[in-house]
Each structure stands twice: as C-alpha cells, then as structure tokens.
Amino acid sequence: MKKLSHLLLLILFLSTTVCLQSCRQKDQKEQKISKEAIKKRSIKDWNKTIPGSFNDKQELFFDTLQIASFLEQYPQLTEYKGSIAKFYSGRNFAYAWYSKSGLIEQAGNLADRVKNLPEEGITKPIPYITQLDSMLYLKSAKKPDLNLELMLTAQYFVFAKLAWQGMDAAISKKTQWFLPRKKFSYEEYLDSLVKTPGKFAGIGVAPVYRQYELLKGFLLKYKALEEKEKWPAIIADQKSYKPGDSSPVIPQIKTRLFKLEDFKGDTTNILYDDELLQAMKQFQERHGLVADGAIGKGTLNELNVPLNTRIRQLLVNMERSRWLPVEVHTDYLAVNIPEFKLHVYHADSLLWSCNVVVGQSVHKTVIFAGDMKYVVFSPFWNVPPSIVKNEVLPDMRRNPNYLRDHQMEITGREGGLPVIRQKPGPKNSLGQVKFLFPNSYNIYLHDTPSKTLFNESSRAFSHGCIRVGEPAKLANFLLRNAKGWDEEKIKEAMNSGKEKYITLKEKVPVFIAYFTAFTDRNNLLNFRKDIYDRDKPLADMLLKKD
C-alpha cells in the first residue's frame, strides 16, 4: 500500500511537469506567432515603428528585479530604465544577447558602434564605455553574464538616443524648430537589429531621415581633410577671374576645388580653362551662388570658409535630420528656407523643385508643418494689421489715392485700425493663386506679381509667407486628380478676378524646414548661408562640454 502511494505521487509529479512544459511551449509558440504577426506589418507612415523578431528560442531568463539592481550599480543609465524594462517585458525577461552557444555576434557590432559614436557626429562622452569593454574582454565563452547582458541593452538605448533620436524636444523648440518630432519605438527596432548581424554593423538603414547618413559620409571626409590640410585663405590678385584668364592664383583655386571633389584636372596649370569652368559652376551651384563661373569676392569667400566651420554645419544639420520623420508615404511639399526652394515629393521621390521667396530676417518664416487644404484662385489679400499700421497708413498719409492705386478697400475697423483688403487682380500681392494650410502662424504659399525676385540668389524678401516661383504648376499638381480641373480650367480661374476656394479631397503635408547643409539628388554636398542665424546656438549646445 505504501509503495502504491509513492507510485501515485510520482505519476502526479510527472504529469504536472509535463503540463508545465506543455504550457511553457504553448506560451512560446503563441509568442512566436505574435512576433510573426508583427513581422508582417508594414510601415504605413512615418510614426509607425519598424517591426522585427528577436531570438525565437528565448532559452535563458532572469528576474525582473535584477534590472533595478543593475541600475543601482550604474546610475548614469537610470534614464533608460523605462526602455530597458519595456524591452525585456515584451520578451518575458529572456536574455537578448546570449544563446545556448554564448554571446551572439551582434554584441560586438553594438560595442563597435557605441565606441565609434564620434563618426555619428556625437562629441558627448558615453557612460560606462570602459566597463563595457572590460565585460566583453572578460566574458565567458558560454556562461551568460547578466551585467553584460543589461549593459549591452542599456548601451543600445544610449546609442539610439544620441545617434538616432537627438536632443530633447525642448532643445529643438528652443531653436524655434516647430516641426513635429518623429515617433519611433527603439525597443521594437532592437529586435530587427539583433536578428540581422550585419545590420548594426552599419550595413542596414538607420531609423533616421535619409539626409542623416548622407551627411555623415561627408562629415568623415571633412574631418579627414581637417586632419591633413592647413586650408589657408586664397588671396586674389585681381578683382575677378573668368575663362581665359591666367594667374598664379588659379592653381590654388584648382587645388582647393580638387580637395572638395569638384575639380579633376591639372591643378598646376595657371590658365582658367574649360575644366575649371565646369568645376567652378558646380561649386557655385552647391553653395547657392549664381553658377556663371565668374570667380569674384563671393565665390572666394565660400572657397575660404574654414573646414572647422563646415564640420559644425554638418553636425548641426545631422542633428536636425534626427528630428525629422523617417519616411513619408504620401505626396508632400517641403520648403527649405536657406535654400529658397520648394520641393514636391511623391512617397519620398522628388518630382520637381522651384524657387521661392521666404521671410526677411526681421519677418522670419516659421519652421513648422501643416496640411495643405485649400487652393484659392484670384484671392483677396487681407492685409495683416501690422502691415496696415507700419506701411499702409503711412503711405495713405503721403498719398490720398494710395488705396485706389493699389486696388485696396476698407471693409471695417478693428483694434483701432481700418480693416483693409486688396482686390483680386494683377496688382494683388498674393498674385493669382494662394495655397492654404491652416496654422496659427498665418503662413501660406502664394503667387506674386514681383517675378524678378526669383532671379536673385538670395531670396529673403517677404513678410513671412512663401512666394512660389511656379504657382500654376503647383496648382496643377495639387488638383491633378480633381474632376474638372485641367490646365485650361486652372488658368481661367487664376485670371477670372473672382475669388474661388477649392477644397482638396486629400490633404497634402507641408514641411517648412531649415537645412544649411544637405545633399542633392546627385549626391552632391550643398551648403547655404545661415540667413536666420539658427546654426550657432544649436552648434554651441551640441558641442557643449558636460
């Protein structure tokens, strides 16, 4: 009887064990199915996360309380506590950097990227990088080390914040950057990185706006130039240089252009030849100058900009790239203020560009985003109160016929000032069409009767709104799928003299950004003048020593 009781207990124990193992396997199977479901999702817009799947086996586990214990040892990593906990909670606190065979290859890839953060334009010291090196050096071939496991995960989040996320939103707002910051789950992205060894080694696409990686490549080139070149100023011996001229200064210019990868010919020849002409035009275009090949004071000034100044520009604009959406999968418009350009995109493919006029330094165009909602043909211009007070009223006192001469009329009074609007017509300051994306800054895109300003190399002339060089083309683009709005109908509406609102069936995102360094569609590095003095404050914060 006693033996029978022991036998029953043994059977019950084995049954319970099998049941627990079965439950564990079922949980793991369900988790695997869940990860496969995540894996099949696609990114529909910029604020969706990049899915991935981690180590499916999840054979090694630890206690959640051990995260707190780890952070007590390494308090500088405490700010990443939430991300670390969220990441491991999603995988039932299974080890990420170990398999049964030992430390996985991706651990070394991560450590290399963290140690080489200066290549990402990051100058801040990384917490506990020495400890990470020591842990990796002393690691056992197979035995898991929880401190190393958690250190690797914490360092991933350090890297993600510095290299991909960028400075806090409070900093971007302080620099008057009101574009929405990207939303991204770095916890989920870690899954895809660990699954693909080469990805974190630098082979994969980083979760940052594409300009980031392009500028990063040029940053490395400029740093290499700074290390080996003195970069003395080129002093002119005549007012300007043009094709056919000879001068001992010409070889200096050719050499400078060779180092900047614009010129590929003989750098010793003192003649301004055709090879130099083509190189100079490319250089001028890359710097927003009139690309006529004439080497005058403005061009020489750009040639003489110190390498360190260019490096600071690259760092600043890499940081701005960290803030932007990773991708936009719809039609959208992008205005780059220092470039004085409007770019029209379809799903991140550039369709066309045109010149724009932006706000003067005293009437800065705001850096923000909105959704294009209306096209207004033959618009009235409701003159802003500030312009009424500071410009129109003084002109009315000097010229009693000012309103009539400018096709304006008073429609009422408000705040002690007359409410004035300008009638549709050829003299209207908004031209024949305006494009509205409602916003609190009262900024919009519009046509203008002052066409000659688009020929200037620097085009900061407006009161803040953006004048478009090719308004009819933009109207055709926005209404190309609208029934009844062909090119002829649009032309007729623009010249009708009667205001007409058209509501777009689908809103079109508009991004008004500020980049003084960027790469163009030919992968050429461009620099522009910092017309609103936005670069220096950000550079100072980026390079500030903690």
Residues known to be catalytic:
446, 465
Q: Which residue has the tokens 């989920």?
A: 188
Compute the distance between CA of residue 307 and CA of residue 222 in angstroms, rounded to an integer: 7
The sign of the torsion formed by the CA atoms of 246, 248, 251, 256 equals negative
Compute the distance between CA of residue 353 and CA of residue 347 in angstroms, rounded to an integer: 15
282-309 in b/e burial notation, b at 16+ Cβ within 10 A?
bbbbbbbbeeebbbeeebbeebeeebee
User: Which region holds residue 261: left if phi is over 0, alpha if psi is between -120 and 50, else beta?
Assistant: left
| Amino acid, single-letter form, for residue 236 | A
β 500-513/525-527 pair status: unpaired
Compute the distance between CA of residue 218 and CA of residue 124 in angstroms, rounded to an integer: 20
Compute the distance between CA of residue 83 and CA of residue 186 in angstroms, rounded to an integer: 8
Give 287-324 as a 3 state SS string: CCCCCCCCECHHHHHHHCCCHHHHHHHHHHHHHHHHHC
What are the residue ranges of helices labelled H in 46-185?
65-73, 81-89, 105-115, 129-138, 146-159, 169-174
Are 508 and 332 in contact by the 8 Å Cβ rule? The answer is yes
Give the residue among 206, 213, 211, 182 at the shortest CA–CA distance from 46.
182
Compute the distance between CA of residue 184 and CA of residue 172 in angstroms, rounded to an integer: 17
Compute the distance between CA of residue 492 and CA of residue 488 in angstroms, rounded to an integer: 6
Q: Which residue has the tokens 């190189």?
A: 279
Residue partners of 243: CB distance under 8 A and separation at least 6 = 272, 273, 274, 276, 277, 293
Compute the distance between CA of residue 124 and CA of residue 104 in angstroms, rounded to an integer: 28
| Amino acid, single-letter form, for residue 171 | I
Backbone angles phi, psi at 421, to 5 degrees: -135, 155
| Amino acid, single-letter form, for residue 337 | I
Q: From residue 386, how far is each of 60, 274, 419 by CA, in Å?
A: 68, 52, 11
Compute the distance between CA of residue 216 and CA of residue 218 in angstroms, rounded to an integer: 5
Compute the distance between CA of residue 317 and CA of residue 539 in angstroms, rounded to an integer: 9
Tell me the CA end-to-end span of the chain in Å, nearest whole number: 77
| Largest pairwise CA distance in the chain | 121
The tokens for 83 are 């991300």
Give the residue among 303, 294, 301, 297 at the shortest CA–CA distance from 241.
294
Are 524 and 394 in contact by the 8 Å Cβ rule? The answer is no
